[in-house]
Each structure stands twice: as structure tokens, then as C-alpha cells.
A and B are shown apart, each in its own frame.
Chain A
Amino acid sequence: MVILPELVLAAGALALFLVSLSKTPSAQTAKSVAMVFGLATFAATLFAFQSQGSLFYGAYAVDQYSQLFKALIGFSLALLLVFGQNLKGISPNVRPEYYLFFLLSVLGLMLLVSSVELIAIFISLELSSFALYLLVPMRDDRTGIRVQMEAGMKYVLFGVMATGFMLYGMSLLFGLTGTTYLKDIIAFLAKGDLQPTVVVAVLLVLAGFFYKLAVFPMHFWVPDVYQGASNETAGFIATLPKFGAVALLIRFLTVPTGQSSFLIELMAVLALCSMFYGNLSALVQKDLKRMLGFSGIAHAGFVLLGLLALDQEGYGVAIYYIAGYVLMNLACFLVISNVSREGENVRIEDVNGLYKRQPVLAFVLAVGLFGLAGIPPFVGFMGKFMILTSALRADHVVVVCLAAINTAIAIYYYLSVVKAAYTAEPGERPPVTVHPSIQLAGVVLVLAITLLGALPARFIDFASTVVQTLL
């Protein structure tokens, strides 16, 4: 039962496939099946949290590292399904398929965090990505100009390009070492005698994950995809794949390249470019999702800053940061999905007076945004603080100062949304009614964001010990 979560997800996908076969597929059935399997997956990840094992001739490792990520993915999946239960932007007759690909994509991510062999990594990444590519154009065509198609195309084309880079890098790694097992690759390269090709190969592979994480310069897809995809899909794209990306980035950063100072400098530059580009572009956005997209680029830069230290401490902090980031993003997308009345995009002025129209959602939104802005005591602050500490310990003074200045830039656009929600008058906009379960999900998120921020010690200790097993 070491792969129970994966099995549950696969079973869920099959069940939805059966639902989708019927001539008049019921959206309600699809939703119930997806919810049941989603929650069961979360339960299964907790159940399988302690399990250890190695499957498929060592290509698939179930260890504490992968189980931690699976539990995080499972938790976020459950929340996503709960607050996205109305699926407003998706036509009811494709909902079984929507949920089918949704679960398949999560399955791909779960497989990804356990894969320790190049081919397995590639296959699970593609399973996750292609299912996700399909979700984007499934949105209703409400604008008449098919923005969702444009977004889908951009997502696929950029994604395929990134995959190409990654495959090329993997082929180089295989050519250099004669094996596809990460463990053997690391052992082979650790013997020394490193050629410059190694760093090229590792960089190419990293590029594939930079794409997922939306690090500059692999970020071009982000704004359009966030804007073009339905609110729930964007919420998915903005959260779960980040776990997979960080998990695999850490795995590949442990590959010895012999050029670590070059790698560090490069990553520092990319991190700064991501932050400045993301934050400065976000300042002028009117569309809330697009703004969060740019903010995501900036936060990817912060994650990279954590990885920069290339040590156990930094990796543990990066995991903490990404977990916090996903929680805060989920809080924001929870509000977006439910403020949107028929699945249309939410502009910043659409949350005007939200605290009068729906106080709970306004509170969740404020906590999410203040968290993203890095105001204590929320998790965003602790993550930022830990990352700055680990980067400053590694003597990147200038980088740290510039990163700190970035947080001051970022506060403006986060605050402008809070300002709309709390100070603007609602005008003609009607009150927002939401299901109690969604409010509950919001409260759970607020609690998680606050508690993880106020009491980070156990999580970071755990993440750091888990990372230790990789080094």
C-alpha cells in the first residue's frame, strides 16, 4: 500500500472516465465522484505518510521526501475541489472530462515527486502537463474571442519547448554517465573529472522546471494562461504544479556539477530578474488573476533565492516557502472563484466593498494577500524571513537588499486589492453568497496560513531532515 494515494487517484480517474461515457453525463455525479476521490486522496496521503519503499526496479522511490510533497499536494487538492465545486467557467457537459483530466494531472504530479529516474520523471511530468494543457481550453467561450484557446496554445507551445530543453539535458546526462538513475548519475559525477557539459545538462533540465515554477525567462506563458484559463483552472495551475517543480528542482540541484558558483550566480540573477519583472509588471494589472500571475513570477524568484544556498537549510526553507505560497494563493483563488458570478474573470474593482458583500471572503482575501505581501504573522513573512536569512548567510548581501526592496514594491499591488475590498463602496454589485463548506475551507486556509507562520519550527525541521536524505 505504499502507493495508495496514486492508486486512489487512478481509480478516481477511471471512475470519471466511466461517468463520461454515458450519453447524458451528469455534472452532479462527476462533481460528487471527484470530491469523494479528492478527499480520499488526501486521506490516503496521510495514511501513507510514513511508508517507505522502492518500486519498478528502483525508478520509483517512496520516501519521506516524496510523502511530504504528496501530503501537501493532497491537502491542496482537497481544498481546490471544495472551493472550486461550482466550476462556474466550465460547461456542464464537459465536466466529467474536466475532472478526469484534473485528477490525472494530479496523479502525474504525485508520480513526479516520487520519480528518481530520468524516464520516469519525464513520463510523469508529461502526464501531469498534458492533462493540464487540456484543462485550459475547456473554459466556456464567453468573450467571443476565444481567449481560452489562445491561452491553451501558449501553454502547450511554451510547455513543449521547455520539455524539449529538459529532454536534451537528460540525454546529455545519460550520455555523460551511461545511466538514467539519478542516484547513479550523482554517484558517477561525484567521482570528479567533471566536464563543462555537466553544468549545461543540469541547466537544461532545470529549465524545464523553471518553466513550471514560472521563473524568468521561462515565465512568458504565465499572464495569458492565468487570464485565459477559468478561475478554478488558474487556481490549479498556480498552486499544485509548484510543489512538483520545487521537489524536482531540489533533486536535480543535488547533482554535482563542479560549477556550483556559476550556478549560484546564474540563479541569483534569475531570481532578481523574476522578482523585478514580476513585481513591476503586477503593479499595473487590472485583472486579479493576471496580477497574481505576475506575483507568482516574483515569488518564484524568492523560492530560487532559497535554493541558492545549495544546502540542506536552504532546501528546507524553500519547501516551507512554497508550501506557504500555495496556501496563500489558494486563499486568493478561493475568493476569486466565488466572487466571480458566472465564471468570468475578476477585475480588481469587482471585489469593491467585498467586506460588505461577504465578510468571510473579504477576510480570507485580506489574509491571503497580506500573507503574499510578507506581513507577519502570516506564513509569507516567515518564509521571506527564512529565505533572506539563508541567502544572507551565504553572503549575497546585494541580492538580499534588492529582494527586500522588492517586497516594498509588491505591497502596493496587494494592498490595492485589499483597499478595494475594504474601502471602496460596493455600488451596484450584489452580495456574494457561498456554500458553508467554502467558508469552512476559507477558515481552514486562514488558520493554516497563520499557524504555519507563527509556529514554523516543526515544519522546517521536518523538511530539513527530509531533505537530508537526498544529500
Chain B
Amino acid sequence: MDLLLIKEGFPLLSFLIFLPLAGALVLLFYRGEAFARLWALLITSLTAVCSLPLLFGFDPTSSKYQFAELYTWIPRLKINYIVGMDGISILLVLLTTLIMPFCVLASWKYIQQRVTPFMFCLLVMETSMIGVFVALDFVLFYIFWEFMLIPMYLLIAVWGGPRKAYASIKFFLYTLAGSVLLLVAIIALYLKSGSFFIPEMMWQPYSLTFQVLVFLAFFLAFAIKVPMFPFHTWLPAAHVEAPTAGSVILASVLLKMGTYGMLRFCLPITPDATMLLAQPILWLSIAGILYGGFTALAQQDMKKLIAYSSVGHMGFVTLGIFVLNSRGIEGALLQMINHGVTTGALFLCVGMIYERTHSRELALATGVGKYMPWFVTFLAFFSLSSFGFPGTNSFIGEFLVLAGTFEYNTFLALAAIPGAVLAAAYMLRMLQKIVWGGTANPDQSYLTDIGVREIAVLTPFLLFVFWIGLGPQPFLDLMHTSVSTLIDQLHHWQQHQQVAAVPWH
């Protein structure tokens, strides 16, 4: 357990996990709608504020798991309650805690019915999302990972659009079916390594067959969550039908769990299988980038367009992870955050149009620029950011990923370039239509521009777009040690394997 830096005193991570849950339980008893809104905002804001000490207390020079807590839970099976955080998870935790207050704000007027249960689901969701990123015990991780399906299912199923029943059940079935074999893999790893403590499962001399099987079980679960082509079909349906807050959570946080899982589990637990199977996965990522781009180009529904663009962007993330070098992985991690910020903001923007026109059709939202100048200003920046315009956050992320890919294989990198071009094409097409439209614009004169609440929601996103875009160093510093340790260990492992393999030849 020397990998843990046990936090003495106040259990901050547990507090962050359980504060939203406690807040949700309060909502069971006080059910007033106005109260529920304010209460959820208060709790999520409090969680966000309390997560800031993580940033100040974090030691970026150490690759150990910090703020760790350890309590025995089920001693019979050596299952413990262990949470901790390293450079890979810290930004994701902060992304989650910081984005939740905006999800509440975005639902302020959007959700008019059953406000209390909605806020209840949001708060429970936050608990399980933070839990996934900080859990260091595999059973604990799995519990958060699966439990999340219930509130997310309800968010789509109860407050969703017209095809909510179909979309929600597809989301649930897909993700659950993907993760049943994950459970078997977890148990198998436990029986081999004797513990559910995740770091103890890493870098163990498992046989290659075992590694490949475990890797495939992991990969299926995570690839569905990402979602990687060809496992992506649940995503457009879920995004389109989900309420705005649900879409933002899905895009900004949920999709990251898949890539986080690949980085946290696939690489260190099954290194041989990762190196063996990296090639096909990289090409799947390329397929996802191109497929997402082309499909997004053809969409008439704004939410669907952004959903398919997510498939493309997440393709960049998996590309960065599996080129297995430090530029690629840092780029992938940064791209995860970028995608969370930018796509989350884009979904918020679409939600704002939807609240006014009650339609997500691109054709019905043409030419709103004249009547909503503030809105289109924000939209323009987020669209630019989405296709990686220099000076915005995605540029840095995609640049690092592509640099890592060039380092790995030039052909692969060249194959990914059209994806970046496609992103510009579909985003500019959407932007052009929304801002100016054509000669046959519908009458948009009834539209009112976004108000103070909505500007307050969007501004922080814009801040991060430029902050990461112009000065990414602080973000990269946070993750650098953990990523380079991971890469070092991987190289070490590789050499060790080669040395071990020599006597056989």
C-alpha cells in the first residue's frame, strides 16, 4: 500500500462523494420545487468549492495516489473502501464537480415537471461519477460504474424527448451488456492477484492468454462507454432524447469514463495484451474519427450533429491513448477535458435554442444571429473550439495527440488528418446556418437573447476554452508525472519482456 498517500484528518474525497448523496436524501423529505432547485444548486456548488482544495493540496511531482482513504469493508473477500487520486484522475474529478452546478442551472427553466426527482437524480449521478474516478478498489469502482446507469436511465426515460423510452432502454442495455464480462474479469484478476486493490493488480506477470481475455472484457465495457466505432449507436439516440443537463453529463463526464478506464486499467493491468492489440484499436479510432465526421456532416438535428462529432472527438482520445507514448496520452487526457468543456457547452447552447424554438432541427434554427447576438457569439467560440482552432483548447489536445501519432506511425497520423478537416466542415456548416442561414429563414423575430443566468452558465466554459487554449501548461503539469511514470513502467515492462524472451530464441 506504499502507493497511497493516506490523507490524515478530514476525508475530503469521501466528503465529495457522499455530500451529493446526502443532499439527494434530503430531497426525499422536503419536496418543494423551488427548494429543490436552490438546494441542488447549493449542494453542487458546495461540492465544486470543496473540490478546489484538491487542486491546491495536490502534489504534481508525485505519481502516488493522493488524498487516499482506506477503510475495511468486506474483509472476507479483501474488499476495501479505498479512494485516491492521481494525475490521471484529478482533472476528471474537477471537471465533474465544476460542471454539475451548470447542469443544475441549465435545468432551471428547462425542467418544469417533477423538479424534485430530477434534482435527486442529478445529485445521485454526481456521487457515482466522482466515485468512479476516485475508486481504487475494483469492486467499489464497479459499483459506482453500474449504479450510475439507474439515475442516467431515469434522466433520459422520464424527462427525455419523444423517443425517450427507446433511447433510454438502448443506453441501459448497451452499457450493461458491455460490463457484465468486466465483472468476470475483475473476479478473475482478484483470484490471480489476491486483492481487489487496483494498483496491486497492475504490472503483474499474467500469462498472455489471460491478459488478452481480460483486456477484451475491459475493452468491450469501455469501448461501449466511450463510445468507439462500431459500438457507438446508443449515443446519438441517448443524446438526442436526453434533457440538456443529461446530454451535458453524458458528453462531458460519462464518455470520459470509458477512456479513463482504458488508461487506468487496460494499460497497466494488461500491458502485453495492450501492445498486442493496439494496432487494430488505433485503426478503429481512425474509423471512428472519419465516420463520426462524415455522419455529423449529414445531420439535420443539432443534437445528433454534436453527438456524432463526439464519436469523432473521442476517436482522437483513444488514438492518443493507444499510441502509447507520453505526448499521445497527455494529449488524450487533455482532449478528454477539452471535449468535456466544449461539447458540454455546445449542448448547453443547443438546449438554449430548444427552450425557445422547441425544436432541435437545424432548419428551424437558421438565422437566429440577428436576434440573439450574445448567444451566437458564445456559439461561435465553442464551435471554433470544437474543431480545434488554434488558440482554443481542442487545438492543444488534438495537436498533442497528432504529434504522438506521428511519433508512432506516420500513415496512421495522416489518416487522422481528414478527421480534423471534417470537424471544421460540419461545425462551420452548423454555425453558418444558425448565425446567418439563407434566404428562406423562418421568422425568428420572437426570439429573445440569452439572459444573465444563461450568460453566467456559458462564461466559465468560455474561460476554460481560452485558458487551456492559450496556457495549457498548468493542466499538463498536473498530469505529467503520472503519465510519464505510466510510460516509464510500460517501457520497463517491454524491455523486461524482451529480456525474458531472449532465451527462447
Partner-B contacts on A (CB < 8 A): 355, 366, 370, 375-377, 381, 385-386, 388-389, 392-393, 397, 400-401, 404-405, 407-408, 411-412, 415-416, 418-419, 422-424, 456-457, 460-461, 464
Chain B's nearest CB lies how many Å from the CB of A110?
29
Q: Which 10 A-B pairs have the closest CB atoms?
A: A376-B143, A408-B177, A404-B180, A457-B74, A423-B165, A423-B157, A408-B180, A404-B184, A392-B187, A376-B147
B interface residues, how many (CB within 8 angstroms): 33
Residue of B nearest to A313 (CB): B76
Asked whether A400 and B184 contact (CB < 8 A) given A377-B143, A381-B143, A460-B76, the answer is: yes
Q: Which residue of A400, A412, A415 contacts B187 across the interface (Cβ within 8 Å)?
A: A400
Bound-state Cα–Cα, A393 to B184, Å: 11
Ordered by A's residue number, 20 sampled pairs between the chains whose C-beta atoms are within 8 Å are A375-B147, A375-B149, A375-B176, A376-B143, A376-B144, A377-B143, A392-B184, A397-B188, A400-B184, A405-B181, A408-B173, A411-B172, A412-B173, A419-B165, A419-B168, A423-B158, A423-B168, A456-B74, A457-B73, A464-B76
Contact of B364 with A by CB under 8 A: no
B147, A385: Cβ atoms closer than 8 Å:
no
Contact of B75 with A by CB under 8 A: yes
Total A-B residue contacts, Cβ distance less than 8 Å: 82
A377, B73: Cβ atoms closer than 8 Å:
no
Chain B's nearest CB lies how many Å from the CB of A149?
38
A386, B77: Cβ atoms closer than 8 Å:
yes
A388, B177: Cβ atoms closer than 8 Å:
no
B173, A423: Cβ atoms closer than 8 Å:
no
Which B residues lie within 8 Å of A376 (CB)?
142-144, 146-147
A401, B184: Cβ atoms closer than 8 Å:
yes
Within 8 A of A (CB), among B49-82: 73-77
Which B residues lie within 8 Å of A460 (CB)?
74, 76
Chain B's nearest CB lies how many Å from the CB of A54?
30
Bound-state Cα–Cα, A408 to B149, Å: 14
Asked whether A389 and B77 contact (CB < 8 A) given A376-B142, A404-B181, A408-B176, the answer is: yes
Within 8 A of A (CB), among B23-66: none
Asked whether A392 and B165 contact (CB < 8 A) given A376-B143, A404-B181, the answer is: no
A419, B157: Cβ atoms closer than 8 Å:
yes
Q: Which residue of B73, B150, B154, B173 contacts A375 across the interface (Cβ within 8 Å)?
A: B150
A457, B76: Cβ atoms closer than 8 Å:
yes
Question: In this complex, which of B73, B74, B180 has the most chain A Cβ atoms within 10 angstroms of its Cβ?
Answer: B180
B180, A407: Cβ atoms closer than 8 Å:
yes
B154, A422: Cβ atoms closer than 8 Å:
yes
Bound-state Cα–Cα, A418 to B173, Å: 13
Which B residues lie within 8 Å of A457 (CB)?
73-76
Main secondary structure of the interface of A (DSSP, over half): helix
A377, B147: Cβ atoms closer than 8 Å:
yes
Which B residues lie within 8 Å of A424 (CB)?
165
Contact of B313 with A by CB under 8 A: no
A416, B169: Cβ atoms closer than 8 Å:
yes
Bound-state Cα–Cα, A457 to B158, Å: 35
Bound-state Cα–Cα, A215 to B107, Å: 49
Residue of B nearest to A355 (CB): B158
Chain A's nearest CB lies how many Å from the CB of B218?
14
Which B residues lie within 8 Å of A412 (CB)?
173
Asked whether A422 and B157 contact (CB < 8 A) given A392-B187, A408-B180, the answer is: yes
What sequence of 0s and 1s flags, for each residue 154-171 of chain B, a beta carbon within 8 Å of any chain A beta carbon? 100110000011001100
Residue of B nearest to A356 (CB): B114
What sequence of 0s and 1s flags, for each residue 200-227 of chain B, a beta carbon within 8 Å of any chain A beta carbon? 0000000000000000000000000000
A415, B169: Cβ atoms closer than 8 Å:
yes
Bound-state Cα–Cα, A405 to B168, Å: 21
Chain B's nearest CB lies how many Å from the CB of A349?
13
Q: Which residue of A386, A400, A419 contacts B169 across the interface (Cβ within 8 Å)?
A: A419
Which A residues lie within 8 Å of B183 (CB)?
385, 388, 404
Contact of B190 with A by CB under 8 A: yes
Chain A's nearest CB lies how many Å from the CB of B192?
11
Bound-state Cα–Cα, A400 to B186, Å: 12
B187, A389: Cβ atoms closer than 8 Å:
yes
A423, B164: Cβ atoms closer than 8 Å:
yes
What sequence of 0s and 1s flags, for each residue 126-160 of chain B, a beta carbon within 8 Å of any chain A beta carbon? 00000000000001001110110110011001100
Give 13 new A-B contacts, CB below 8 A, not counting A375-B149, A408-B173, A411-B177.
Answer: A366-B150, A375-B176, A376-B147, A385-B139, A397-B188, A400-B187, A408-B176, A408-B177, A423-B164, A423-B168, A456-B74, A461-B76, A464-B76
Chain B's nearest CB lies how many Å from the CB of A321?
15
Which A residues lie within 8 Å of B153 (CB)?
415, 418
Q: Which residue of B143, B165, B191 contacts A393 across the interface (Cβ within 8 Å)?
A: B191
Bound-state Cα–Cα, A408 to B184, Å: 13
Bound-state Cα–Cα, A457 to B183, Å: 19
Chain B's nearest CB lies how many Å from the CB of A444?
15
A405, B146: Cβ atoms closer than 8 Å:
no
